[in-house]
Structure formats: structure tokens, C-alpha cells
Amino acid sequence: MTLMYKNISINYSVEGEGEAVVLLHGFLENINMWVDLIPELSKTHKVIAIDLLGHGKTECLGYVHTMEDMADAVYAVLLQLKIGKAKFVGHSMGGYVALALAEKEPQMFNGLCLMNSTFEADDKERKKLRTRSAKMAKTNYEALVRMSFTNLFAPESKLKFKEDFDKALELALQTPVQGYIAAQEGMRLRPDRFNTFKNLEARKLIIIGEKDSIIDGDSIRAQIENTDIKFEALSEGHMSHIENKSELTYILKHFIEK
């Protein structure tokens, strides 16, 4: 399905009936990342998956897509579908987008799961890395994507889940250069949203991979102590939907059904 928004096309899918669940993919991903989860979750819920700006079949708005820009596009889709409340699951960058939306429209949230994601802003090193990557993307895009993507997996996972890894890499390489640059810039600019998450009146869950090289699980654990934010740790890396598929499916089904 598509929505015309600010002269671009936003792509999304809707499966099932019942309470709404909104799935937001990560950087260099698209709605196809949810292909194994949607059939399970849509047995009991209306599941909406949205291609974020510059990813999948959704076009680019510019050369900077802030998390707020992406959240506004998600909000436009939900308005079209007349969704007043939903549970949200955001993978990596999708979690940043969900937090930006929660800051603007907290009343829409029955629940928010940050999956291999964080409420923290980038540190100085990460910001420099994003700026450097955005520059490199203009000249050596395919090598850059291959390298970036490989780092998302625990070392042994690349071999253990080779077929899924290859499929996900193929989808990542379909992301346009402009989409890559715009998202990197948007993630670099995002603020810390711990208070947004902590104060959200909804079910809250963070899922991290113990071998994730992107997300600092120890820092997250320390900050959410004495809050009502639940925490789940899985054994592998940043790509739990591939590396810990069955455990993740169980956790997410439990999260949306409560």
C-alpha cells in the first residue's frame, strides 16, 4: 500500500485484525525484515509495517532525514489508517523513530519496544563515524554497506545464518545512496530521549543482543534500574530477528498480548 506524503510515496503493509502493532525497521532495512514475524503477530493483531524515508519503496525527502521527519511520515500513515493507539516495535533506527513519535504523540502509545535499539544519543566518536560514512557513501557505496552490515552480526552468526545474512545484505544494498546519507545525518543529530521513554505511560521493553557491537547494553541496564522499563537480553548480536528468531518471536508475542 502507498500514501502520497509531501510529494513522495510512502510504502507500508497491513496484515490481520485487532489491536494495532506498528513495526519500524532499522537502518539499511525495509519492511521485508519482518517477513517471519508478521504471520505470527497478525494472527491476533493488526500489524502495520512501514518503509521509513529513503528505505525500501519509500522515497527520499532530502539529504537529511531527522528522526522527527521519519516520525512525521509514520504518523501520516497511521492517520490515514485511523489508528488512534498502538503498540510499537522499533528495530535499531526504528526505535529512534518511535521515540521521536512518542515525544510528539505520547497518547498513541499502548506500548513501545526498543529492539536492539537505545534511547541514548550518539557519542562524539559515533557522530564522527557517521559523518565519515556519509562522505564515503558518495564514492564507495557498495563496499561501505557490505562492511557496515557485516558489523551488525555476531561473528559466528554470519556463517550460521548465511542464507538469511545474504538476503538481508541484498536488501541493504538496495537502499539508495541518498537514503543512506540522509539517515546517517538524522541519526547523528538525534537527542538523548531517556526521559521521553521513562515517562511514557505505556508498556516499555528494551531487547538487546549480548554480542551487539552497536548498542551499549551495560549503560542501558544501569540507566533503567528503578524504572518500569523491562529488559531482555538475547545471546547474539544486533540482528535478533535473524540471530535469535524464535526467542524474539516469543518475547514480542508476549509483549503485544499483555
What strands, in cross-sheet order, belong to the sheet with 2-5? 2-5, 8-15, 46-50, 20-24, 86-91, 109-115, 203-209, 230-234
User: What per-residue confidence (pLDDT) applies to 57?
Assistant: 98
Q: What is the pLDDT of residue 50?
A: 98
For domain 2-257, is the CATH number 3.40.50.740?
A: no
Q: At residue 258, does pLDDT exceed 90? A: no
Maximum alpha-carbon separation in the chain: 48
pLDDT tens digits, one per residue of 143-202: 999 988 888 998 899 899 999 999 999 999 999 999 999 999 999 999 999 999 999 999
Alpha helices of the chain — where are they, by DSSP H?
38-41, 67-80, 93-104, 124-136, 141-150, 157-160, 162-173, 177-189, 194-199, 217-224, 240-243, 245-257
Interval 127-145: pLDDT, tens = 999 999 999 999 999 999 9
